[in-house]
């Protein structure tokens, strides 16, 4: 039986502008997205008989057909139509429903991995077209570059090179529903979108674009998000912001030690999830 082990990374949003509500219920966005090396580990095994099994064993993540990784495998197995099946094991290191894109990344890895295991030869562009039917952030994880993501997130353009940074991720574990966030958002009439720089020479240049429209919904209801940002900045972060629809807050640091120190300050006595990662 052919098998493959893949790392599915998390993402953070350096910028998230909500531009307009679309008639189909989605929103047109402008995001800057970067991958970080906090990864789920996915082992894919191709079987000679049909059927898909997904085991994850993480609270809040369904095993079986409810898992987005199952849906990704199903699409490629149906496309191949060779009577094969798949066994998918996920070690979930990325916090769930946290604004870090974990499920989307798992789905992207399964699409890329099944394409390889079955020798389908589908291009990244084709996999991205399939990916967007599973979730708006899936194409970004197939793109595999720091990106400007427009439309619902599927129109991707590479961003200029950015200096590497240490990223502290802290999830206070409050439950934030993505649907509620978008439903509650008051769209402001903008004059135009802030222009993004063409050169990123320093971590400060990266932080100069930090902005997340969704914080206007989450912060008033969950002040802990603003508190974590303030603590990160006090502990030496060059910038700190909520990722996606939250509740995870991330800070960019120049060195690993200060990121770890800030993580200790924030997790001491709170029991919150914290991880230090590198941008990739």
Q: Which residue's CB atom is positioned nearest to ligand ATP?
A: 103
Minimum distance of ligand ATP from residue 199's CB (angstroms): 28
Q: From CA 81, how far away is CA 227, in angstroms rounded? A: 52
Q: Does 113 bind ligand ATP (CB under 6 A)?
A: no
Candidates 18, 29, 69, 232: give the one binding ligand ATP (CB under 6 A).
Answer: 69
Candidates 30, 36, 101, 224: give the one binding ligand ATP (CB under 6 A).
Answer: 101
Q: Does 99 bind ligand ATP (CB under 6 A)?
A: yes
With vertex at residue 249, the alpha carbon angle to CA 37 and CA 155, rounded to the nearest 5 degrees, is: 65
Nearer to ligand ATP, 54 or 235 (CB): 54
- Looking at beta carbons, which pairs linking 253-260 to residues 24 or more positions away fall under 8 Å? 253/165, 253/166, 253/167, 253/168, 253/203, 254/165, 254/166, 254/203, 255/166, 256/166, 258/166, 259/166, 259/167, 259/168, 260/168
Contact 89, 55 (CB under 8 A): yes
Q: Does 139 bind ligand ATP (CB under 6 A)?
A: no
- Give the closest residue to 11 by CA, choosing from 89, 95, 71: 95
Nearer to ligand ATP, 100 or 258 (CB): 100
Contacts with ligand ATP, 78-97, as mask; x by CB under 6 A: ------------x-----xx
If you count them, how many residues does the chain have?
280
Candidates 44, 46, 88, 100: give the one binding ligand ATP (CB under 6 A).
Answer: 100
Helices (H), 65-187: 68-80, 102-117, 124-132, 138-143, 178-184
Q: Which residues are catalytic?
A: 11, 137
Q: Does 218 bind ligand ATP (CB under 6 A)?
A: no
Residues lying near ligand ATP in the complex (CB under 6 A) are found at 60-62, 67-69, 90, 96-104, 106, 137, 178, 244-245
């Amino acid at each position: 039986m052919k098998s493959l082990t893949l790392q599915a990374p998390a993402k953070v949003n350096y910028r998230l502008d909500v531009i307009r509500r679309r008639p189909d219920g989605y929103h047109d966005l402008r995001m800057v997205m970067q991958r970080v090396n906090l990864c789920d580990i996915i082992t894919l095994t191709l079987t000679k008989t049909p059927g898909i099994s997904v085991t994850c064993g993480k609270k809040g993540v369904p095993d079986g057909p409810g898992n987005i990784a199952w849906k990704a495998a199903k699409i490629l197995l149906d496309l191949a139509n060779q009577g094969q099946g798949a066994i998918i094991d996920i070690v979930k290191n990325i916090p769930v429903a946290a604004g870090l894109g974990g499920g989307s990344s798992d789905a992207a890895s399964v699409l890329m991995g099944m394409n390889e295991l079955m020798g389908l030869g589908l291009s990244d562009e084709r996999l991205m077209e399939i990916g967007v039917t599973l979730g708006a952030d899936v194409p970004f994880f197939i793109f595999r570059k720091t990106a400007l993501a427009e439309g619902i997130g599927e129109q991707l353009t590479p961003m200029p090179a950015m200096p590497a940074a240490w990223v502290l991720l802290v999830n206070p574990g409050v439950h934030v529903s993505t649907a509620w966030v978008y439903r509650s958002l008051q769209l402001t009439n903008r004059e135009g979108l802030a222009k993004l720089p063409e050169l990123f020479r320093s971590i400060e240049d990266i932080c100069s674009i930090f902005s997340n429209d969704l914080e206007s919904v989450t912060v008033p209801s969950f002040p802990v998000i603003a508190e974590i940002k303030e603590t990160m900045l006090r502990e030496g972060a060059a910038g700190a912001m909520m990722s996606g629809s939250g509740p995870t807050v991330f800070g960019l640091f120049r060195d690993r030690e200060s990121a770890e120190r800030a993580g200790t300050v924030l997790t001491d006595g709170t029991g919150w999830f914290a991880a230090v990662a590198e941008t990739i």
